């Protein structure tokens, strides 16, 4: 699997942070995906931190219209925009963990990172260029998720997820919207 980040910029941990439980870390990770999906106007079907022993995951977000792409598709402005949105949503889980703990739980983020890189390869012929694009979107995602009202939404959704374990589309949107608007306080 290709390394997407310079080790001096982002330390990836094989064991994760000791400051959060696995459940809390999963809640932040999935909340990051959910908030990013809201911000790039992709409908969320549900968000969950119910572990899945079949695919060995601690949580998941399901989307209603987050497109997937194949290499060789015609390159248009709309296509590029959709790829950027997809990659932003994919990176947002790890970014939420990073902003909360200062670390990324590699085991929980590897699949997202691989999918982000594969999506970037739909736009570029050169691996180096695709990697640079993903790294640029990593910084973009840091700014998007780290923006105070957006981070408040991640915090609120992660807290609710820790309590409920599963949140459907309507409640997730309400939590995010109220947190961003400041009416959830």
Kindly tell me if the per-residue pLDDT of 16 is higher than 70.
Answer: no
Q: How far is CA 166 from the centre of its chain?
A: 17
* DSSP designation for 5: S
- Find out whether 173 and 31 touch, Cβ atoms under 8 Å: no
Residue in the structure block whose two tokens are 């060789």: 72
Tokens of 18: 């000791």
Express each pLDDT in 115-125 by its tens digit.
999 999 988 98
- Give the architecture (CATH level 2) of 20-177: Up-down Bundle (1.20)
The answer to which of 22-36, 73-87, 165-179 has the lowest mean pLDDT is 73-87
* DSSP designation for 44: E
Separation CA 10–CA 28 (nearest Å): 18
Quote the pLDDT of residue 77: 87
Coil vs helix vs strand at 104: strand
Count of all residues that appear for the chain in the document: 185
Give the residue extent of every domain in the chain.
20-177
Phi, psi of 16 (to 5 degrees): 85, -175
- Find out whether 95 and 145 touch, Cβ atoms under 8 Å: yes
pTM value is: 0.84
Express each pLDDT in 87-113 by its tens digit.
999 999 999 999 998 888 777 788 899
Question: What is the rounded average pLDDT of the residues 29-50?
Answer: 95
Phi, psi of 104 (to 5 degrees): -120, 130
Quote the pLDDT of residue 13: 42
């Amino acid at each position: 699997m290709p390394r997407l980040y310079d080790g001096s910029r982002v330390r990836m941990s094989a064991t994760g942070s000791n400051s959060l439980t696995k459940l809390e870390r999963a809640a932040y990770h999935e909340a990051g995906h959910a908030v990013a999906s809201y911000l790039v106007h992709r409908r969320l079907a549900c968000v969950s931190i119910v572990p899945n022993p079949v695919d060995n995951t601690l949580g998941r977000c399901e989307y209603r219209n987050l497109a997937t792409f194949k290499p060789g598709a015609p390159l248009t402005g709309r296509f590029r925009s959709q790829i950027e949105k997809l990659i932003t949503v994919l990176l947002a889980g790890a970014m939420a963990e990073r902003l909360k703990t200062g670390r990324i739980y590699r085991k929980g983020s590897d699949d997202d990172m691989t999918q982000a890189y594969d999506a970037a390869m739909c736009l570029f012929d050169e691996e180096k260029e695709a990697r640079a694009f993903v790294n640029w979107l990593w910084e973009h995602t840091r700014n998007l998720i780290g923006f105070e009202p957006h981070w408040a939404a991640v915090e609120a959704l992660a807290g609710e997820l820790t309590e409920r374990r599963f949140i459907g589309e309507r409640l997730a949107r309400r939590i995010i919207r109220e947190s961003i608007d400041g009416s959830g306080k």
